[in-house]
Amino acid sequence: QKVIEEAPCAALAPDARRRLCAAAVAVAREIGYEGAGTVEFIVDSATGRFFVLEVNARVQVEHGVSEAITGLDIVRLQLQVARGATLASLGVTQASIGAHGHAIEARVNAEDWSFAPQTGALRVARWPHALARCDVGVRSGGAVSVFYDSLLGKLIVHAPTRAEAIARLAGALRATALLGVPCNVPFLLAVLEHAAFVDGADVDTRFIERHMPPAPP
């Protein structure tokens, strides 16, 4: 279960990031891949070694943070390539793609503190469009049913630094109002404001297990 996604990774050294990105490009070139896709890796924090998990022939839910730091509209590019365009004809080369600033995304889910999905009528859904990019799928008066994923929306922010991005996302979450169905906004705020998350050095896939307390009373 992904909760918070960010780019670039706070715990990954620049040299390791360059090697990981080069490996992803090499995978795509080796198989002659065309279109948008995602190469997933897992990194051993003790040794710095990384390993390929899988290649997904699609954009991921977290593609928004990649779009924020690169300035590219990945979905638009995917559709243009599907219609026959090449990245070169669109003015995009591997050398031209850079990363600027820091982006963080929070997945707002209809879940309780223990990640159990919740259902019901959503009386109010107010999203902070003025404070964050809001990719959402529900509105006031809608229903959260058992037939779909518990994801209600994604809030994505971009800032010059990681600290500023954390502050902006926390502000956007505080301006989010979802009434009628329990959601994970309090949990997301608790993660963002935890000292270990703010520091960034100890953020990995076991962060919640190590640092987050049980549900508050």
Q: Which residues belong to the active site?
A: 58
Q: Are 44 and 135 in contact (CB under 8 A)?
A: no
With vertex at residue 107, the alpha carbon angle to CA 100 and CA 61, rounded to the nearest 5 degrees, is 65
User: Which DSSP state fits 133?
Assistant: E
Supply 19's token pair: 């090697």
**What are the φ and ψ backbone dihedral angles of 206, each rounded to 5 degrees?**
-110, 15
Q: Give the containing element (helix H, strand E) for 98.
A: none
With tokens 């800032």, the residue in question is: 159
15: left (phi over 0), alpha (psi -120 to 50) or beta: alpha
Q: Are 36 and 59 in contact (CB under 8 A)?
A: yes
Q: Are 2 and 107 in contact (CB under 8 A)?
A: yes
